[in-house]
Amino acid sequence: MKNTTVLISGASIAGPALAYWLSRSGHAVTVVEKAPALRPGGQAVDFKGETHRVVLERMGILDEVRRRRTGGTDQSIVDANGRPLATLPAAFTGGDVEILRGDLSALLHERTEADCEYVFGDSVTSLTDTAGGVHVTFERGAPRTFDLVVGADGIHSTVRRLAFGPESDYVRFLGYHYALADLGVDLGAGMYNEPGRMAALGGPKAPVFLVFASGRLDYDRYDTQRHRGILTDAYRGMGWRVPEIVAALPEARDVHLDPISRVEIDHYARGRTVLLGDAAYGNTLGGFGTGLAVVGAYVLAGELVEAGGDHRAAFRAYEEAMRGYAKVAGRGGAGPFLAPATRRGIWMRNRLFRSRFLLWSMLRMTDMFATDIRLGDYPALTGTSAAR
């Protein structure tokens, strides 16, 4: 097989999922991650429908994902006095099985660390495509050459920027920001809206989950003190338990703020570099990111093995298989749904959750999107015939 040394940038979900398949098929895999270690906890992610289940089964991790799953409880949508208005059902937010991102990342790392090289606390600084490989320089480590490079480093992908161009060319801001926070105190549970703003406590995403409409904000993604200030300004004057949230922000143990954005890119590969997961088809809070990452990893690895390592043929086949399936990432916008711009919009959204028929229709549509791909039969990858 050709092209057997592979560098994967990103050790969250997509990267280790691909590392699992490639390492068991004879590739020498290195995973580089900017963070100094795996990130524990984090927001809850979920899997939906038969396609996701089949890939988890083929990886041999479905039972363990179920064992580590979160509780998956319903959440009340409340008014300013805390009175219930509607219920956000666990089936809507948590799919068939829900797990903390950090727990899933740890599980994938456990299944790959013995067979792959993991490098934490480092990142790629340049990529030079040559006839015989990709020459890679790193922020801390010595330069190395790999046959192939995979950008599995999220919606703000460094690999995409280096190989394709600036983030502004491929990532579209959708007019909202979201924040996850751990205040270190229990303020109860519930989800409350005012036009253009949402605050949720004790829900499936994080102890505090905030979504608000805004223009594009200028800040350093790693400056959590600035994040606290932005959130304080954005949520000033809001009712319900929000003043308590704002008061607790300065001492919060963990705060993460990010734009709600969507990746729009014509091709997933350039030369010997290919994008996977949110780097290729991300849509913040779109509800399909984790499933797309795990399915995409399976398809990319399968096509590489089937093509005998011919990266050009494999990348074309991967894109053909995933392009239609990943369209779901371009369809929705979580911001207007979670934080409608008007009181009427809030009322209509709540009405959806009070209607069994409308909710059932939405869940059926979600399942249809999650299963809208025919998984290839990659016996050389899985060691068995597993066609669907």
Strands, E assignment, the chain? 5-9, 28-33, 44-47, 75-78, 84-88, 97-100, 117-120, 124-130, 133-138, 144-146, 148-151, 171-182, 190-194, 197-201, 208-213, 254-263, 269-270, 273-275
Please tell me the predicted confidence (pLDDT) of residue 386: 43
Q: How far apart are CA 322 and CA 242, in angstroms?
A: 41
CB 286 within 8 A of CB 334: yes
Token pair belonging to 184: 């270190």
Q: Which residues contact 216 (CB under 8 A, 6 or more apart)?
A: 173, 259
Cα-to-chain-centroid distance, residue 111: 20
| Closest to 347 measured CA to CA, from 140, 194, 210 | 194
In this structure, which long-range contacts are made by residues 356-359, counting pairs with CB atoms below 8 Å and at least 24 apart in sequence? 359/89, 359/92
Q: How far apart are CA 280 and CA 267, in angstroms?
A: 8
Please tell me the predicted confidence (pLDDT) of residue 287: 73
Q: How far apart are CA 314 and CA 142, in angstroms?
A: 29
Please tell me the predicted confidence (pLDDT) of residue 265: 95
Would you give per-residue pLDDT tens digits along the chain (388 residues)?
677 999 999 999 999 999 999 999 999 999 999 999 998 877 888 898 889 999 999 999 999 999 998 866 788 999 999 999 999 887 777 778 889 999 999 999 999 999 999 999 999 999 999 988 999 999 999 999 999 999 999 999 999 999 999 999 999 999 999 999 988 878 888 999 999 999 999 876 678 999 999 999 989 988 999 999 999 999 999 999 999 999 999 988 789 999 999 999 999 999 999 999 999 999 888 778 899 999 999 999 999 999 998 999 999 999 999 998 888 766 667 899 999 999 999 999 999 888 877 777 777 766 666 666 778 888 888 775 443 3
Please tell me the predicted confidence (pLDDT) of residue 385: 43
Q: How far apart are CA 83 and CA 63, in angstroms?
A: 38
Q: How far apart are CA 108 and CA 268, in angstroms?
A: 23
Place of tokens 């660390």: 113
Q: How far apart are CA 373 and CA 360, in angstroms?
A: 22
Token pair belonging to 101: 């991102």
Q: How far apart are CA 15 and CA 21, in angstroms?
A: 10
Please tell me the predicted confidence (pLDDT) of residue 2: 74
Please tell me the predicted confidence (pLDDT) of residue 204: 63
CA dihedral (112, 118, 124, 128) positive or negative = negative
